[in-house]
Structure 1
Amino acid sequence: MSCYRYTILNSFIYLLLAGYSYGQDKTALDSLMLQKESRSLPVKIKALNELCRIYTGTDNDKAMYYSGQAIQNAIKSKDALLIAHSQNRLGTICDYRGVIDSANINYLAALKIFETFDDKSGIAMVYQNIGVMYYFQNDLDKAKDYYLKAIHLRTETNELDYIAKLQNNIAVIFRRQKKYNQAIDFYHQALAIKLKFSDQEAIANAYSNLAEAYSYKGVADSASLYLKKAITINEKINSKINLAGNYLQLAEINQDGGDLINARLNVLRSIQYATEAESNDILYNDYELLWNVDTLEKDFRSAVINKQLASEYKAKVFKDDKAKAIEKLNVLYETEKKDKEIVSLNAEQERKRIQRQFLILGLALTLLVLIVTAVYFKKVKNKNKLLSFQKRDIEDKTALLNQQATEIAQYRTQMNPHFIFNALVTVQKFILKENKFNAAHYLTQLSKLMRLTLYNSEKEYITLKEEKEFLDFYIEFEHSRFENLFTYTFNLDDNVDEENILIPPMIIQPFIENAIKHGLSPKNGEGTIEILIKQETDIHKTPFLLLQIKDNGVGREAAKKQSNKEEGHRSKGLSITINRVRTACHVNKLDDANCVEIVDLINDEKEAAGTLVKIKLPLIENF
């Protein structure tokens, strides 16, 4: 199976979340720009939400601005359903940007309002967006449950177009779970609905999806049949990107069946359309397949050329992915600022509303002193309760935003300049010694380590197994740098499931780096680093994860003296990591004051014998 086919299926899921069905032609946009200036609040709010939807994913700053304006005007209108639609739209932006907690808060708030009014279309809309949110968190069963709930409601309201999209999404889940018969059944149901409408591109996509499922099942004849149907439609509507994908899939089926001549012809057609569509991703897969065909036909000269072209397009794809990852971090930072502005705006409106009410009460007191006094005190009491509730709510949201800010700062300082400088000095040393092989190898390892760090930093949580793999790679890297200065062990208790227990990414690495730099580097003799992870419970019988990092270095006191003699950059990565741990403990109601404990070890002669770091983390399981 090619990477390209998997990308198409996931892209369709995300389009349902963002709501892209509206063409951004100038006439339509101009109309919405006029409507957003309307004196009619319902017209204005709907236009703002539509603009927000259009710009989500293309200009996220504009999308967030229009969402904020929509919510502000919806609150002003006091129309609960308009508020619900605006909160649902804000939830999709937060989900698109990866701010899952904020997305979930807005989705649930919108859902509660729609349920109050028994608005089945609104409830179904939130259900399918929550389903998409769980899909991209790889919780496929929860995603499927919400899609099925949405289908039930859309059936009651006879919204066939939405039913077809939801059936397609369920088919994607079954396909990922390798339940191909169920996937094919749902794809056929979606196709039956699409054939009732005149959207040729949607019908072509349905045929492509069926071909995909049959191909995974191993039924090549059916896969080829549906691909040819898709190609016929895509040629009529001149969809170059879809034609490139269709011909690539057909070429793969030809190759799997041993028909190398048609495999070559179809991949060349795919290259033609992918070049016109400027799709580096498809071109990379095209040249990889063409290289494989050349190899099977023993045309090694062409194979070398096509492998080189595949490598060039792969580099372009990686460069694009890296740029997107950096953009995502910037977007998260901007989202945090916008969220704070919205909270501040709502608080200011609430303050003005309370001031107006107190003014009315003051005027009433001059007319009916005795009666209004009793009413006044009752209302003041109620208002204080409301203000207390709102204050707690704002404090909770502020804590959440601070947590997100800490994570963003940690991502941006993970590979600090001091570390990179030391790595480059090591490369320089290899070069001066004319050890070109070690220099090239070390640079390759540094590139892989930075890429792995960037990949992990995109995630809110990773498994213990992924953290261990990262640490093993990092330790191997440091061994090259310090010429095997130390040994390293990583142990898990029997009750710790490394594949299903989740922790925030790169929690352990800063402590290991600190141990190597300040504890083991100045030490005479072989150093050791031992990591132990086990599951324990606190005094309230709440389970938590205990991480222990132990070294036999010179100890903190000696390291501090050495550090005071040195000048230059000092990384804040360790303090940021400790704050991340404390925030995680606080949010999950663990004792955050004792979440990080650093113990100085001494031997029988009362001499420093290293350092022991104990970290408590909430027990989060991926089931």
Structure 2
Amino acid sequence: MILKIKGLWQLSFAISFLMLFFACSKQDTIHPSIEKKLLAIEQISQTQPTQSIITLDSLLQNSNNLNTLERAMVLFNKGEVLYLNDKYQEAFNTHLKCNKLFIELKDNYNESRSLITLSGASLHMGDIETSQVYALKALKLGLLIKDERIEGKAYNQLFKLHFKLKDYDKALSYIKAIDSLYSKGTDTFSIISIKGNKASVYLKLKEYNKALASFSEAMALSQSKKDPKTLVSILNNIGYTYIEAGIYPNAEKFLRGAITLNKNIKSINAAPYKGLGNLFLLKIENDSAEVNYKKALAIYTSNNDIKEEIEVRDKLLSISIMNGDYTKALNHQKIRDSLQLSINSLEKNRLLNFANVNYEIKQKESEISHQKEINSRNQWLLVNTVLLFILLFIATAFYIYNTKLRATNKASQLEQRLLRVQMNPHFIFNTLAAIQNITLEGNAIKSSNYIAKFSKLIRQNFDYVRKEAISLDKEIAMISNYIETQQLRFNYSFSYNIEIEDTIDTSKIKVPPMLVQPFIENGIEYGLKEKKEGGVLLLKVAKEENGLSFIISDNGLGRSTKAKKEKITEELHATTIFLERLKMRKKGEEKTFIIEDLFDESNKPIGTKVFFKLKLE
């Protein structure tokens, strides 16, 4: 009897072992039908990303038909599609899931591939530390399995990371490691890319001869492969390198060579024209610079490359100002601003479209999940419950969406009002007139400095107004730039001082942008403007127990005296906008706001003081 039981136990163990073996074998194999679908998706991943995601999600919804390896590979491909189409957060979350499955499967090769994408996504999202952790893990696995391609990709990720950190010495060590791995290989195009990256690091280190040597190696390889498009790019990069080195004749030679080669292969490329524009602008040959920038602009416009078009228009704007053609300058500024708004609108639409696709996919997943529950329970009761839940979910989603939309519209309106107050036409034209006077006096260096300062001020206003918070040092830099521009307008009839408590680390503290500037403007326009000399503007920033205090004071005419001469409304002082911005922070900071008229012992107005506090996180 005991022997019989022992025999049954051994038989049971053998059957269990065989089942486990076959299960593992099935798990480690991708069925031909799944493999075929994944290959098809890979071919359309860049041209049809939305369709690729829908197909992959459809496979995941039928996960009961997938083994662990197949599920991991479907998730991997989905993560790659998301990453290639700049959906970095979604790509990161998806790769976390497949990476966990590859670890369970002990699939070191695919685990390392997933780690490289996790590192790349983290880097794009600004998480440097996490990016480095994943890249080093991928490198360790690559060395373990002795896969040089994985090693190269890990080194390349570490190169990008340190290049972004401006740690160029470390970046150079990693790109050299990649170069040694690929130098004996047959992948010529990868080697060309590596040589170009190495040259870029040398360029940042201002080692121009080494940069040119690397570019020359890349050029020789591209000539051997008879790849004219790559050769054009290298010629253009060499031209830019010579510009950086200050060897302008050579720069012009290579840039014109790139243009000639483009014409020979009937290719349209704006980069060489843009390079020539930069070259002639540095040589103060404004007419030649303008001609080449216009050629580059025409190509960027036809290609709908809005970001490059904005950059070129900025250059043309500067040239127009230097030439005194303010009508043309304003036209460039208007078009540039319209393009920037277009970029913002496209980005919002892209995010909304992606959110809609995700919502539809998640809704389908929810319906399938509920359908399974209905089959195992009371069908009609569960159907009613699910329908009620979906209706409540949709109603809640629409309520949240409408609430957010109203808040966004309010913020957008406030942003536009703020921008109109910050950069009013009177200030712009008066400043341009002041710069024109300096130009007419023949002081080219002083004129150029103020053009640069004024351009920077306009750029700061447009860049910062769309941000919720910036560092205090950027806010102070913008205020200083603004005051110095105003000093130019009023012929330095007043001085200014900015006092910041020593214990404040201005680079780490975040504040709402352009919060102080309206009161600085009020102090100048309605206080110091009519003082011929001796005007003083003061800004004090002090540390409080849980925040900062700001004091803006002037020794000008005073509000009460100015009010007798002209009507000064609350809107002119931007007080309403200022208080609305504080209220939107929901910290009660608006209650600390005080405007005080200053008087001497004989009750004569001697200026104005503004005080408020900001609470820090």
TM range (shorter): 0.5 to 0.7
Do residues 205 (structure 1) and 193 (structure 2) align? yes
The residue aligned with 2:124 is 133
Instruction: Please give the per-residue CA displacement for 1:158-202, whole angstroms capped at 9, x wherever unaligned.
Output: 765454244234235545667665444322322244346543222
Secondary structure in structure 2 of the residue aligned to 1:478: helix
- Residue 46 of structure 2 contacts residue 85 of structure 2 at CA under 8 Å; is this kept in 1? no
Do residues 450 (structure 1) and 465 (structure 2) align? no
The whole-number CA distance in structure 1 between the counterparts of 2:574 and 2:350 is 23
Give the structure, 1 or 2, with the largest relative contact order (CA under 8 Å, sep 6 or more). 1
The whole-number CA distance in structure 2 between the counterparts of 1:504 and 1:449 is 17
Do residues 598 (structure 1) and 593 (structure 2) align? yes
Report 1:27-426 matches (<5 A).
54=46, 86=78, 89-90=81-82, 103-104=88-89, 106-107=90-91, 109-118=93-102, 120=111, 123-133=114-124, 137=126, 143-153=131-141, 160-161=148-149, 163-174=151-162, 182-195=170-183, 198-213=186-201, 225-235=213-223, 236=225, 237-238=227-228, 239-245=230-236, 247-248=238-239, 251=242, 264=249, 267-274=252-259, 276-277=261-262, 281-283=271-273, 285=275, 309-310=288-289, 313=292, 319-321=309-311, 325-338=340-353, 341=356, 345=360, 363=378, 415-416=419-420, 419-423=423-427, 426=430
- Residue 527 of structure 1 contacts residue 553 of structure 1 at CA under 8 Å; is this kept in 2? yes
**In terms of mean alpha carbon deviation, does 399-408 or 336-345 score higher?**
399-408
The whole-number CA distance in structure 2 between the counterparts of 1:449 and 1:597 is 29
The residue aligned with 1:19 is none
- Structure with larger Rg: 2
Q: Structure 1: which amino acid aligns with 2:192?
A: A
Q: Structure 1: which amino acid aligns with 2:498?
A: F
Q: CA deviation at 1:490?
A: 2.0
- Residue 496 of structure 1 contacts residue 535 of structure 1 at CA under 8 Å; is this kept in 2? yes
The whole-number CA distance in structure 2 between the counterparts of 1:310 and 1:432 is 21
- Residue 485 of structure 1 contacts residue 527 of structure 1 at CA under 8 Å; is this kept in 2? yes
Instruction: Please give the per-residue CA displacement for 1:340-388, whole angstroms capped at 9, x wherever unaligned.
Output: 645765786688679879977994698xxxxx9xxx9xx99xx99xx99
Instruction: Please give the per-residue CA displacement for 1:562-605, whole angstroms capped at 9, x wherever unaligned.
Output: 998879xx79987666666566x56xxxxx23367421325577
Q: CA deviation at 1:493?
A: 1.0
Shift of the 421–249 alpha-carbon distance from structure 1 to 2, 3 Å rule, reads: closer
Instruction: Please give the per-residue CA displacement for 1:125-175, whole angstroms capped at 9, x wherever unaligned.
Output: 4422334325xx5x7566444432343355567765454244234235545
Q: CA deviation at 1:607?
A: 9.0
Q: CA deviation at 1:118?
A: 3.6
Q: Which runs of 5+ in 2 are unaligned?
A: 1-32, 65-70, 104-110, 263-267, 298-307, 315-335
Q: CA deviation at 1:444?
A: 7.8
The whole-number CA distance in structure 1 between the counterparts of 2:592 and 2:560 is 16
Q: Structure 1: which amino acid aligns with 2:93?
A: A
The whole-number CA distance in structure 2 between the counterparts of 1:461 and 1:418 is 17
**In terms of mean alpha carbon deviation, does 608-617 or 490-499 score higher?**
608-617
Instruction: Please give the per-residue CA displacement for 1:66-121, whole angstroms capped at 9, x wherever unaligned.
Output: 588579757855687556765775576566xxxxxxx54x3553244234424625
What is the TM-score normalised by the length of structure 2? 0.61
Q: Which runs of 5+ in 1 are unaligned?
A: 1-39, 56-61, 96-102, 293-302, 367-371, 539-543, 587-591
- Residue 553 of structure 1 contacts residue 611 of structure 1 at CA under 8 Å; is this kept in 2? no
Q: Structure 2: which amino acid aligns with 1:452?
A: Q
What is the TM-score normalised by the length of structure 1? 0.60
Do residues 478 (structure 1) and 473 (structure 2) align? no
Give the percent of matched residue pairs that are identical in Structure 1 and Structure 2.
16
- Residue 110 of structure 1 contacts residue 126 of structure 1 at CA under 8 Å; is this kept in 2? no
Secondary structure in structure 1 of the residue aligned to 2:345: helix
- Residue 554 of structure 2 contacts residue 608 of structure 2 at CA under 8 Å; is this kept in 1? yes
Q: CA deviation at 1:268?
A: 0.8
Shift of the 344–242 alpha-carbon distance from structure 1 to 2, 3 Å rule, reads: closer
Secondary structure in structure 2 of the residue aligned to 1:496: coil
The whole-number CA distance in structure 1 between the counterparts of 2:591 and 2:272 is 47
Q: Structure 1: which amino acid aligns with 2:115?
A: A
Instruction: Please give the per-residue CA displacement for 1:36-94, whole angstroms capped at 9, x wherever unaligned.
Output: xxxx999889977875x626xxxxxx86x658857975785568755676577557656
Q: CA deviation at 1:230?
A: 1.3
Q: CA deviation at 1:422?
A: 2.0
